[in-house]
Chains A and B, each alone.
Chain A
Amino acid sequence: MKFLVCISNVPDTTTKITFTPDNKELNKAGVQFVINPWDEYALTRAIELKEQLGGTVTVLNVGEADTEPNIRKALAIGADDAIRVNAKPTDAFFVAQQIAAVAKDGGYDVILMGKESIDYNGFQVHGMVGELLGIPTVAPAMKLDMSGNSATLEREIEGGKEIVEVQTPFVVSCQEPMCEPRIPNMRGIMTARTKPLKVVEATGQGAATEVVEYALPPKKQGVKLIEAENAGELIRLLRNEAKVI
């Protein structure tokens, strides 16, 4: 089985978000970038399946050179090799085209990624890649098991889940509780240095969307505290003041 795992490089969850003075970009100063948490589920599950079935795991990132530490981290966790498409990931459609271009030539059986990135929160790339390649996408999946060329997945739906069976090749976007994400060990970190990381240039058309401005949500007024002895007062406030019940 050939697995392709797409990872994105995102600000650590605990980052306090600020923007450049023109509000057009994230202020990256002092921000630590990590592998998108959802993508860690995709990566770990691919590695588990490789250990079970044999094959290779290739990681793919669309990003500029500053993402390489996180690509190396993915190699340290257990991927075999990596590809970086050397471009700024401007929007979901642009990124999807790059992934599809790499996948088309690579003969991958399963393309895995996280359900969304915690910065853009798009939930789009998996569907676009599936459509560009003309193969099914199962999103978001909580379980992925494989036997030969067929896969059984659990897909989350509102209020429940579905069991879906698809044949390779397919795209899957991953979420909890698919597996327990792994962290690199010393041996992994040592071997990651010597694993191949290929850099390729971008292809395809430009972006379909353009961010013109970022803004922070309006500041909260501050919490209104109600005495515990008088808890029922809260309900009256929720009805008469906040008007939510």
Chain B
Amino acid sequence: MSVLVVVECDKGEVKKSSLEVASYGAQVAQALGTTATAVAVGEASEASLASLGEQGIGKVLYDNDARLKEFVNGAYTKLIAAAAKQEQAQVIVLANSNIGTSVGSRLAVRLQASLATNVVELPRVEGGKFTVKRGAYSGKAFSDVVLVNDRKIIAVKKNSIEALHNAGQTAQVQSFSAQLADADFADAPKQVIMQEQTGGVPLPEADKVVSGGRGMKGPENWHLIEELAKALGAATACSKPVSDVDWRPHHEHVGQTGITVSPNLYIACGISGAIQHLAGVNSSKVIVVINKDPEAPFFKAADYGIVGDVFDVLPKLTQAVKDLS
């Protein structure tokens, strides 16, 4: 019996959300009186994998097959299932990312496991019951879910668990092979197109987001959003009408029909806060709203607010951030 953690890597580095997942898995292992092993996917350097010791991981399995650098659902599923078998994993923890949930849902069937996605807290294990808390109703509620089957798979929502950092601990990196066949690569991507990102972090991973709505009036004013984002080290986002009229690319649009984000800080500039927009951002830890209309619904969901003109307020905020350092 053990806990298996699925760690996603990119350009040699472990993704931030996977550091959270590793920490989550290590704490589950401790509660169950067992150890946490990681299986890494994507392009990883040996050093970054060894440093997973800081998150409480003892051992990391890594298959160096070049075909695994990009996400392939069939192959990743087979690899992780093989690792779970070898480690006799009772609990598998992965990120609530497109990769994590795509693989997690296939694994759940293959391993006859109970799967919970969108999980926001460590599990409660009492009286033989294994219960997790997860977000439901587009962030408007939470549910406690019992994972009934012997094997459990948990997809952890980003920014909901603090990553541990026990400096100096290293994990032992072992090579691992799942004997993959060509057929396992039927859904391999033909081409991968990365988009330019403000602040260097993909929006779903970002822990700070500066977002603009129709109140920004036009794409020529977006430098105000970008300058504040840059000063904060934040990613940029927008409301749906903004991406619909091509002021900003589609992948920046957050909300019910866009990307769901759960950063520590979400700053909304000239966004009214319609319920469909809130659905994608309402689990942010701290919400700041800047809007010239004091009646804008977003103020009801906000922690901090400024009733004012974005063209006047944003430069002041950027300056104040610069003054901090």
Contacts and interface: CB of A to CB of B under 8 A. Distances in A.
B80 interface: no
Contacts of B323: 232, 235
B301 A166 contact: no
A215 B195 contact: no
Interface string B300-314: 111111111100110
Q: Interface SS of chain A: helix, strand, loop or mixed?
A: mixed
7 contacts: A121-B138, A124-B104, A131-B108, A139-B98, A208-B115, A210-B145, A226-B306
A105 interface: no
Interface in A165-183: 165-167, 175-177
A208 B321 contact: no
A29 interface: no
A209 B156 CA distance: 16
Interface residues of B, number: 95
B141 A17 contact: yes
B304 A226 contact: yes
B239 interface: no
Contact of A223 (B147, B304, B324): B304
B190 A163 contact: yes
A33 interface: no
Contact of B102 (A92, A127, A175, A233): A127
A233 to B, nearest CB: 8
Given A156-B98, A228-B312, A245-B265, A138 B204 contact: no
Contacts of B320: 231-236
A166 B183 CA distance: 12
B187 A225 contact: no
Contacts of A237: 304
Contacts of B324: 235, 239, 245
Interface string A124-141: 111110111000111110
B191 interface: yes
B69 interface: no
Interface in A104-154: 118-128, 130-132, 136-140, 142
Interface of A: 11, 13-14, 17, 19, 26, 37-38, 92-93, 96, 118-128, 130-132, 136-140, 142, 155-167, 175-177, 207-217, 220-221, 223-228, 231-239, 242, 244-245
B105 A234 contact: no
Contacts of B117: 121-124
A15 B56 CA distance: 42
A223 B286 CA distance: 11
A151 B61 CA distance: 34
Contact of A127 (B104, B114, B301): B104
B189 A164 contact: yes
Nearest to A157: B98
B98 A11 contact: no
A237 B320 CA distance: 11
Contacts of A239: 324
Contact of A228 (B134, B144, B303, B308): B308
Given A126-B105, A131-B105, A157-B98, A176 B250 contact: yes
B286 A231 contact: no
Given A234-B320, A239-B324, 9 more contacts: A17-B137, A92-B105, A127-B101, A137-B105, A159-B203, A162-B70, A166-B187, A238-B286, A244-B286
A178 B289 CA distance: 31
A214 B106 contact: no
Contacts of A227: 306
Contact of B187 (A136, A220, A221, A235): A136
Contact of A209 (B98, B148, B265): B148
Nearest to B275: A14
Contacts of B189: 155, 162-164
B131 interface: yes
B195 A159 contact: yes
A176 B258 contact: yes
A227 B308 CA distance: 8
A161 B208 CA distance: 22
